[in-house]
Structure 1
Amino acid sequence: MLIDKYLGEIIEHVVYKYHYNVDLEDEYESLLRYIYRRLVKAWFKGRGVSLKEFEAALQNARKKRRQLEILLSYLVSRYAARNGPIYMPRGGDWYDEKY
């Protein structure tokens, strides 16, 4: 799948960095399908898109890594919200360090 090829590393980075409630072993394919649908809706106004067009859009998006990471973080958070709490603080997190 094109999303895995171009965005797989970034998606995994986002899930681990922000501790999203997504089990990548079990839900990875479902997450990729969700991201695909949302990107087609956002970038192509929901119209049918060829694989070549979509691949070109992904290549272009990778050039803007920070913006892409923010977009993917939003999409993963929306996906994770369906599974319950997005982030569960653990001992030693920022709260303990700050106070």
Structure 2
Amino acid sequence: MNRDREETRSGELEDKISRLERLADRLEEASAEEVSGVLDRALGLLQEVGAEIEERLGELEEGEREVGSVLEGIDLGSIDEALRELERRPEDGGG
């Protein structure tokens, strides 16, 4: 379900970027009177895109904190000891 949500959000973001591109193209042909309106719409879209990016970054930071907490709780002592034991073993001369 989370994957579907991400795909939807990515699609919405792509749509906004596409709309921004169309507005940029429109600016090239816009009359002086239209420029202000086109720029207002572009600014609104940019604010939406920026807010979406900030939201996603916040979610990533939260996920990173959660992973960090889990990793802090894992005791890797037995694995470390097993690796040290392997390093102490003499190498086998055979191939």
**TM-score range relative to shorter protein:** under 0.3
Higher helix share: 2
Q: Which has the higher contact order (CA 8 A, sep 6+)?
A: 1
Larger C-alpha radius of gyration, 1 or 2? 2
Please, what TM-score do these two structures have when normalized by structure 2?
A: 0.27
